[in-house]
Copies of this chain bind each other. A is one copy, B any other.
Amino acid sequence: MLSPEKISDCVSDAIASISYPDQPAGLYTPIAYTLESGGKRLRPQLTLAVCSALGCDVERAISAALGIEIFHNFTLLHDDVMDAADLRRGRLTVHKRWNENTAILSGDAMLTMATEFIAGAPVEVMPKIMHLFNRTAMEVYEGQQYDVDFEHSNDVTVAQYIEMIRLKTSVLLGCACRVGAMVAGASEEVADAFYKYGENLGLAFQLRDDWLDTYGDPLVFGKQIGGDIINGKKTWLLINAIAECRNEILDILAEDLEPSERVEQVRAVYDRLNLNDRCRALVSDYADKAIHALDGVDLDADARAYFDNLARRSVERNY
């Protein structure tokens, strides 16, 4: 299997080599701005890593890997419009730097670009990959819709929340892994195992995100700690607190408090319910599930170490 550095370089080179028409600049400049702004590039790395771990030349998977990364960036672009977010990866969001119409239209074009890169998958697996990609995209929109619906409800169950983040975040990681396996010509069983790996990795990542927003180190996390509490965002922590201390937590949220005061009071409830440890334990469970999903897959030591380390990092990461 290629080294993690090689895989990362492959992805960076491929993204840097995307060419954009010059005109109309109002359409293509925001797309280049979005795709050049970085991020972890986790999804395309997963696609190439799975492909390589199964003994296949990663060149065959690069087009589909780019399609998945462009799709992911398209969802962030449109989500930022819907959330009226000002910043993404330390830079102005497209609708702030340009305007909302530019963000809508450039996002649409990114979705079509993503689809065209997916269509560049090896022809013998392209139709199956296209169906998986489209089904996954619909699930991501469904997850986004549930996220919006949950904003206005105090009756979201933990199970509904997990299903929402599975749709909004995890299925795309599952898809990224499965595409790598499909390109490599893997059996359905192996493709399923990698899908489960990605899906559980995604759940671990998202729950760690929830935890970091409340319990992260402000110097390392890079964002204001407590932003989710200030915004009343329905995270795993808040949903559990509502389930277990409904009146107390809703009273705090209804009060007209200074932001720092609200964070402190809500966090005091979380601490009393031991949600700090419980959330970290759950992240760890999902990382374990990810690792064990690959138990039946024949992998050499390098490959197994790669996927194990990635899952373990999701438990420990601080930013």
Contacts and interface: CB of A to CB of B under 8 A. Distances in A.
Given A104-B81, A105-B82, A116 B134 contact: yes
18 contacts: A24-B145, A26-B145, A26-B148, A27-B145, A78-B104, A78-B105, A81-B101, A82-B101, A101-B148, A105-B141, A105-B148, A109-B137, A109-B141, A116-B131, A119-B127, A119-B130, A119-B134, A130-B130
A290 to B, nearest CB: 27
B108 A141 contact: yes
A254 interface: no
A115 B134 contact: yes
Given A112-B134, A126-B127, A24 B142 contact: yes
A138 interface: yes
A191 interface: no
A18 interface: no
Interface of A: 21, 23-24, 26-27, 78, 81-82, 101, 104-105, 107-109, 111-113, 115-116, 119, 123, 126-127, 130-131, 134-135, 137-138, 141-142, 144-146, 148-149
A23, A104, A148 pick with most chain B CB within 10 angstroms: A104
A26 B149 contact: yes
A199 B59 CA distance: 37
A145 B26 CA distance: 7
A266 to B, nearest CB: 26
A112 B109 CA distance: 12
State the oligomeric state as a number of copies.
2
Contacts of A127: 119, 123, 126-127
A99 to B, nearest CB: 10
Contacts of A24: 142, 145-146, 149
A148 B21 CA distance: 18
A223 to B, nearest CB: 23
Contacts of A130: 115, 119, 130
Contacts of A107: 108
A161 to B, nearest CB: 14
A135 to B, nearest CB: 8
A123 B131 CA distance: 13
A131 B123 CA distance: 13
Contacts of A142: 21, 23-24, 27
A107 B78 CA distance: 11
A145 to B, nearest CB: 4
Contact of A104 (B23, B26, B82, B146): B82
A137 B108 CA distance: 9
A147 to B, nearest CB: 10
A137 B149 contact: no
A119 B131 CA distance: 7
Contacts of A81: 101, 104
Given A127-B119, A127-B126, A111 B109 contact: no
Contact of A105 (B109, B134, B144): B144
